[in-house]
Amino acid sequence: MRACIQRVHQASVTVDGQIVGRIGRGLLVLLGVGQNDADEDARQLADRVCGLRIFEDDEGKMNRSLEDIRGALLVVSQFTLLGDCRKGRRPSFTQAAPPDVAERLYEKFVAAAGVRGLEVATGRFRAHMDVALVNDGPVTLLLDSKKDF
């Protein structure tokens, strides 16, 4: 399972002209599910995301987590994070999980983050989404539950 995490002042997802998810200060998480991912990957990655100390403390150091600041989380499914661009000019998505598996694990990730009492908003799985954000910093990090990078 892969996540592209962006620290944001605000973010939203629109589908067919309607906002389906919106947050203020917090994290936008673009989440990709791989073929070999399982429930434990979703839980562990949610723990990592919510506990990452990437928000500034009173001294301007990244010492606070999403939980510490009581920030919000916007989770957007994005299978293209599993794209392999090493050969040719067209990405291969063979490492991405099939949609039914990916949706189930995406929902597990959302639920694992939600049990922490944080505000969690989502996009719409398998929909064409317009994602808007105001990046804070900018701070953008990549995580992988298999620790591939």
Q: What's the predicted TM-score (pTM) here?
A: 0.95
Q: Of the residues 6, 14, 55, 79, which is catalytic?
A: 79
d(CA 75, CA 81): 14
Mean predicted confidence (pLDDT) in 30-41: 97
80 classed as catalytic: yes
Q: In Å, what is the CA distance from 45 to each residue of 48, 51, 53, 131?
A: 5, 10, 14, 22
**Residue 78 annotated among the catalytic residues of the structure:** yes
Active-site option among 35, 80, 93, 140: 80
pLDDT in tens, 79-124: 999 999 999 999 999 999 999 999 999 999 999 999 999 999 999 9
Catalytic residue list contains 125: no
Q: Is the omega angle on the peptide bond into residue 98 within 30 degrees of 0, that is, cis?
A: no
Quickly name the fold that domain 2-144 has.
D-tyrosyl-trna(Tyr) Deacylase; Chain: A; (3.50.80)
Cα–Cα dist 93/101, whole Å:
15
What tokens were used for 8?
Answer: 């944001």
pLDDT at 49: 97
Residues 47-80: tens digit of each pLDDT: 999 999 999 999 999 999 999 999 999 999 999 9
Q: Which one from 55, 78, 109, 122 is the annotated catalytic residue?
A: 78
Contact 146, 34 (CB under 8 A): yes
**How does strand 18-23 pair with strand 26-32?**
unpaired
The residue type of 123 is G
